[in-house]
Amino acid sequence: MAVIKAPSRHIDMLARLLRAEAAGEGKQGMLHVGAVTVNRARTNCSDFKGLNTLPEVINQPKAFEALQHGMYYQRARESEKRLARRNVKGYRSWPAKYSLWYFRPEGDCPPTWYDQRQVGRYKAHCFYEPVAGECDEIYNTY
């Protein structure tokens, strides 16, 4: 059962995003990016108020570097679509489990990023969860 509504065209969008943002990080890295993206669509707080669908989250201005640099327009492969479907069905794991932000710094992960606390790193990406009292619905289970 899906945790958000996602027709096949939304799955394709998410799959293209996974490839563009984290193909070099392998399947697990792409699943982490997908988890953060789905988390954003599940919440209604902070930078993500009113963003309830994958297209709204993915097309949010300046949210994903892949869109800014034209890498998003690569075709999604079936392997990425399978990963995207897993995310839509609720797959998420540490450090992306409750994260709403991630980025790829040049060096070490800063302990905070825009006042959000760093919870972990997977390969090149650092993951950040909301501070206590902000976006608490992200901690709800499916």
Domain assignment present for residue 1? The answer is: no
Looking at every residue in the chain, the average pLDDT score rounds to 93
Give the residue among 116, 141, 114, 142 at the shortest CA–CA distance from 129: 116
What strands lie across the sheet with 112-113, from one edge to the other?
A: 101-103, 125-129, 116-122, 112-113
Give the structural domain span for 111: 8-139
Please compute the mean of the pLDDT values over residues 42-59 and round it to a whole number: 95
pLDDT band at 66 (very low <50, low <70, confident <90, very high): confident
Tokens 């989250």 identify what position? 57
Residue 54 falls within a domain, yes or no? yes
In a domain, residue 2? The reply is no
Work out the pLDDT band at 69, boundaries 50, 70, 90.
low
d(CA 114, CA 96): 17
The total domain count for the chain is 1
> What is the per-residue pLDDT for 73?
66
Question: Residue type for 49, please?
Answer: K
Q: Beta partners for 101?
A: 128
pLDDT at 75 over 90: no
pLDDT of residue 67: 72
pLDDT for residue 2 is more than 70: yes
Contact between 35 and 99 under an 8 Å Cβ cutoff? The reply is yes
Q: Is 69 helix (H, G, I), strand (E, B) or coil?
A: coil
Whether 142 shows a pLDDT value over 90: the answer reads: no
> CA 137 to CA 131: how far, in whole Å?
12
**In-domain check, residue 42:** yes
Q: What's residue 132's pLDDT?
A: 84
Q: What is the pTM of this model?
A: 0.95
Assess whether pLDDT exceeds 70 at residue 86: yes
